[in-house]
Amino acid sequence: MTKLTISPASGDAQAETFIDRATIGDQLQAIGVEYAHWQADRILADDADQDTVLDAYRYSISALNARYGFRSIDVVSLTPDHPDAAALRNKFLAEHTHADFEVRFFVDGSGLFYLHVGDKVYMVLCERGDLISVPANTTHWFDMGTHPFFKCIRFFTTPDGWVGEFTGSDIAKHFPDFDSFTSRRA
Ligand SMILES: [Fe+2]
C-alpha cells in the first residue's frame, strides 16, 4: 500500500501518516515533488522485457516526456536473489543529492524514498503503479530493503544518468529502514 509519513527531521516521534493517494499527491506537490499513479494499458508478465514494459505504459510515458523532455529512459529490476543486492541497497542508503532530477515509476514491487526538505523528512513508500519525481538538488535517500523486489522505469534528463553527491550526514540512520517501515501498521 502506498504510504507517506511526514516526520520532523530530528526523528520520527511525531510523524503524520497518509495513505490516500490524492492527499499524498497534494502533500508532495507542496514541496515540488510530483506523485502520480498510472495504470498499465495491459497486463504484464513478470518476465516482460524492457520494450514490452515501456510499451505497456507508452501513453503515460509520452505525456510525461512531452513535459520534461527526457534524454534517456530505461528499466531496472531487482530481485532478492541478486548477488549484489546488499551492495546496491547500500549505494542509495546515505543522504545525497544530484543535479539531475530523479523520476521513477514502479512497474512492480516497492521502494521507500526519504526526502529531506527543510526541517522535515517525507518517507514515501512507492508501490506498483506509483510515479515519483525527486527535484534536482533535493537531499534524499532510498531504501529497497533486505529483500529488494522492484521493477522501475527510470527517466533521465542528462545523458550521464545518475551521479550522486553524498552529504556526509548520518540522518538516514535515525529513520526506520524499509523493513521496519513496511512492517508497521498504517
Ligand atoms: Fe537519488
Cα(95) to centroid of ligand 1, in Å?
8
Residue-level pLDDT at 101: 85
Mean pLDDT of 19-26: 97
**Residue 186 CB coordination number (10 Å):** 9
Nearest-CA neighbor of 148 among 91, 63, 71, 68? 91
CB distance 151 to 74 below 8 Å: no
Cα(103) to centroid of ligand 1, in Å?
9
Q: Which residue has the higher pLDDT, 112 or 186?
A: 112
Cα(140) to centroid of ligand 1, in Å?
6
Cα(137) to centroid of ligand 1, in Å?
9
State CA 94 to chain mean position distance.
14
Cα(62) to centroid of ligand 1, in Å?
23
State CA 85 to chain mean position distance.
17
Residues in a beta bridge with 143: 112
Cα(12) to centroid of ligand 1, in Å?
21
Nearest-CA neighbor of 150 among 107, 97, 115? 107
Mean pLDDT of 50-59: 88
List CB-based neighbours of ion ligand 1 within 5 Å.
Answer: 102
Q: How confident is the model at residue 161 (pLDDT cuts 50, 70, 90)?
A: low
Cα(122) to centroid of ligand 1, in Å?
14
Mean pLDDT of 112-120: 96
Between the alpha carbon of residue 1 and those of residues 59, 74, 132, the distances in Å are 24, 25, 15
Cα(84) to centroid of ligand 1, in Å?
18
Cα(15) to centroid of ligand 1, in Å?
23
Cα(56) to centroid of ligand 1, in Å?
25
Mean pLDDT of the chain: 90
What is the grid cell recorded at 17?
501518516
Residue-level pLDDT at 148: 95
Q: Output phi, psi for 144, to 5 deg.
A: -105, -5
Please give the DSSP secondary-structure letter assigned to residue 101: P
Cα(66) to centroid of ligand 1, in Å?
23
Residue-level pLDDT at 105: 95
Burial class of residue 132 (count of CB atoms within 10 Å of its CB; 0-12, 13-18, 19+): buried
How far is the C-alpha of 76 from the C-alpha of 81, rounded, in Å?
15
Residue-level pLDDT at 160: 67
Mean pLDDT of 51-67: 90
Look-up of cell digits 533535493: 138
